[in-house]
Amino acid sequence: MRVAIGGASGLLGTALSRRLVDGGHDVVQLVRGTPKSPAQRRWDPDAGRIAAPGLDDVDAVVNLAGAPIAGGRWTKDYKAEIRRSRVTSTLTIVTSLSPQGRCQRLLNGSAAGFYGNSSAVVDEDSPAGRGFLARVTQDWETAAGHSPVSTAVLRTGQVLASEGGYLAAIWKLFGAGLGGRTGDGRQFLSWISINDHVRAMEFLLTSEVTGPVNLVSPHPVTNALFTRTFAEYLHRPAFVPTPLPAISLLLGREFVRELLTSGQRVKPTRLLAAGFKFEQPSLVEALAALS
């Protein structure tokens, strides 16, 4: 299989590229700068262009492109960039596809933030929540809905990896013994190991599943339980609550409200129904698998 990847330089794109190549597949990395190898192809999502031959020579495309959610203070301009980067990259890809073309499969990014703040169990049949991130994911998925080929949207939870993602933001703090619960700690964290996330994407590339697919472990945990488990993994105490006032000053109250003190209790119903088997379904297993 020949697969094009948007957002190939990110945490998930890099891991997916490595797994596909190791599995004997060909990967075309869509890059914004000048290509440095035959495996790279330039694209400009802002202008809606992909260099020739576009997506005509691939069997599938995985779009993971988008400005980092925690990449800066949530100013009006940065929030617009978060949304724009996701919508324009998605529209660039779907308008490059044809129902008669070689490429007949699209996996497009989304996020568990679709469900907003919810302590109740939600799955792919649950309605969208409220808030900025919920609106962004709805716009993101609407753009993917214009795809003329078989498409699944990946509602991803917090990805656990040693080299980036959710853990990278808190590793040093916890390692210094300064980690702790966020708020009252009762909000749920829907997470997935990077290994299972990449395996799930590979699984979905040849699956007939379409529409939203929750890429999360079957076992979400509360923030308090996550805190205790991660601290135990690092052999460190976890007594100091996250300094929310300081983070609010740095990144904004809306950032704290939507990313730190709210949560989702998401179930991967469609992924399990399709026959996918998790290798690290529990938090302890996921942490133990970190390199």
The predicted pLDDT at position 61 comes to 98
Q: Is 277 exposed, middle or buried (0-12, 13-18, 19+ CB in 10 A)?
A: exposed
Q: Cα–Cα distance between 270 and 290 in angstroms, integer?
A: 26
pLDDT band at 170 (very low <50, low <70, confident <90, very high): confident
Give, in words, the CATH class of 2-288: alpha beta
The predicted pLDDT at position 255 comes to 87
Decide if 106 contacts 151 (C-beta within 8 A): yes
C-alpha to C-alpha distances, 234 to 49, 142, 238, nearest whole angstrom:
45, 41, 10
Q: Is the pLDDT of residue 239 over 90?
A: no
Q: What is the pLDDT of residues 106-162, one digit of tens each?
A: 999 999 999 999 889 999 999 999 999 999 999 999 999 999 999 999 999 999 999
| Residue % of the chain over a pLDDT of 90 | 84
Q: What is the pLDDT of residues 215-227, one digit of tens each?
A: 999 999 999 999 9
pTM of this structure: 0.95
pLDDT band at 291 (very low <50, low <70, confident <90, very high): low
Q: Is the pLDDT of residue 290 over 80?
A: yes
